[in-house]
Structure 1
């Protein structure tokens, strides 16, 4: 019995170590897949739409989200099996990354909305300016006609 039990315990310890390594590896991959802070802050474009499109692209974190999902999956399995000696640090790291991903995803959504809104806003402002120009021209023509009638 002791030989079999010792073997099972050794295998369980090895599996727990591999599970922890998998969680840590996925957390590292998630961090690496996050956008670079300078890519989010710095912009090179000719107009606002170009800036927004570049920002939206830099805020794409699908790869990071998938790695966090994998890390969490292996963490949950390991935690339920009581395989980790110190699971708190892994749990904290997962929570921090999830919060950061939510922030980035929220920003991505907001930028996407602005990217869709700005061309519409520009078009509406252009139409309003043209209408104002047309009104000014009409007023000038009316004033000229009134002046001609007075003479």
Structure 2
């Protein structure tokens, strides 16, 4: 009876392992599908640089991709620790590749956000400098006339 029970347990474990692999792969597919559209990141229409940066920042939002990736990693870690995968290296490589892409996109989004705050400051400072130069030039003209 225990030999029969062991065979049934092995079958159940094999089934569970296959389901875990399918779950990881499903989350990875969902994560890829939730990534930003390449054309939305590249083709930006706006009236000025600030509009371009805001559009780009929005286009770089990874949305649900990060959460799907997180779920894939959680399931993978459990399956790996249970030694449930025949070949975990291919799943691990897919997870790492997608994780690198999501991180790069998030970094680019942060940079666009930083520039969104910096560019208006620079414009304001440049306008102040130009006004000061115009004021100084007008003052110099006034001194020359006197």
Where on the TM-score scale, by shorter chain, does this alignment land: which range?
over 0.9
Partner of 2:141: 140
SS at 2:130's partner residue?
A: helix
Distance 1:44 1:38 in 2: 12
* Residue 64 of structure 2 corresponds to residue 63 of structure 1: yes
- Cα pair 2:35 2:62 within 8 Å, conserved: yes
CA distance in 2, matches of 1:3, 1:62: 48
Shift of residue 8, structure 1, vs aligned partner: 0.9
Displaced runs of 4+ in structure 1, greater than 4 A? none
What CA distance in whole angstroms lies between the structure 1 residues aligned with 2:143 and 2:33? 67
Residue 13 of structure 1 corresponds to 14
Deviation at 1:139, TM superposition (A): 1.0
- For 2:128, the equivalent position in structure 1 comes to 127
Q: Unpaired runs of 5+ in structure 2?
A: none
**RMSD across aligned positions (CA):** 0.9
The residue number in structure 1 matching 2:101 is: 100
Q: SS of 2:86's equivalent?
A: coil
2:53 matched residue in structure 1 = 52
Alignment partner, residue 83 of structure 1: 84
Task: Check conservation: 2:62, 2:106, Cα contact below 8 A.
Answer: yes
TM-score by length of 2: 0.96
Q: CA deviation at 1:37?
A: 1.2
CA deviations over 1:61-109 (Å, ceiling 9, x no partner): 1411111111011001111111111111100000001111111111111
**CA distance in 2 between partners of 1:106 and 1:64 (Å):** 15
Secondary structure, in 3 states, of the residue corresponding to 1:89? Answer: helix
Q: Which has the larger radius of gyration?
A: 1
Q: Provide structure 1 residue ranges, at least 5 long, that are not aligned to the other structure.
A: 146-151
1:108-130 Cα shifts (integer Å, max 9, x gaps): 11111100001111111111111
Q: C-alpha distance in 2, partners of 1:75/1:104?
A: 23
Count of aligned pairs: 145
